[in-house]
């Protein structure tokens, strides 16, 4: 795993720490299993478009911070894990809803 990817995954873990959440708490907030979150953070699994959108929303609510700012931080983390086309699908789907 490239160093940049490790740094970005550690950044997501830092956001969880600031929110006072475990990976299991994040999983509950977005409606997936803790194993799913662990696999994303380890780079073994690609997040779905829904997860790419739901993770920053859940964190922004918990941290009581601007959703856009948190979304940028999380997408900065997840864009390394997710294929760019997956992010495009997530963003285009959100615009249509």
Contact 43/36 with Cβ under 8 angstroms?
no
- Confidence category of residue 21, pLDDT binned at 50, 70, 90: very high
Token pair 């941290």 in the structure block, residue: 63
More confident residue, 67 or 94: 67
Contact 79/56 with Cβ under 8 angstroms?
no
Read off the pLDDT of each residue in 19-48 and give the average, rounded to a whole number: 88
Alpha helices by DSSP H, listed for the chain, are 3-19, 23-30, 34-42, 49-63, 67-81, 84-96
- Confidence category of residue 91, pLDDT binned at 50, 70, 90: low
Reading the block at residue 58, the tokens are: 């859940």
More confident residue, 92 or 12: 12
- Confidence category of residue 2, pLDDT binned at 50, 70, 90: very low
Distance between CA atoms of residues 80 and 97, nearest Å:
25
| pLDDT per position as a tens digit, 37-89 | 888 888 788 777 788 788 888 988 888 887 677 777 776 655 545 555 555 65
Measured from the Cβ of residue 22, the count of other Cβ atoms closer than 10 Å reads 13
Domains in the chain (CATH in brackets) are 3-96 (1.10.260.40)
């Amino acid at each position: 795993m490239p160093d940049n990817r490790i740094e970005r995954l550690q950044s997501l873990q830092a956001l969880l720490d600031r929110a006072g959440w475990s990976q299991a708490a994040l999983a509950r907030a977005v409606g997936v299993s803790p194993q799913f979150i662990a696999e994303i953070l380890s780079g073994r699994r690609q997040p779905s478009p829904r997860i790419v959108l739901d993770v920053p929303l859940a964190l922004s609510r918990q941290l009581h911070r601007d959703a856009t700012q948190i979304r940028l931080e999380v997408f900065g983390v997840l864009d390394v894990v997710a294929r760019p086309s997956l992010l495009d699908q997530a963003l285009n789907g959100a615009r249509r809803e």
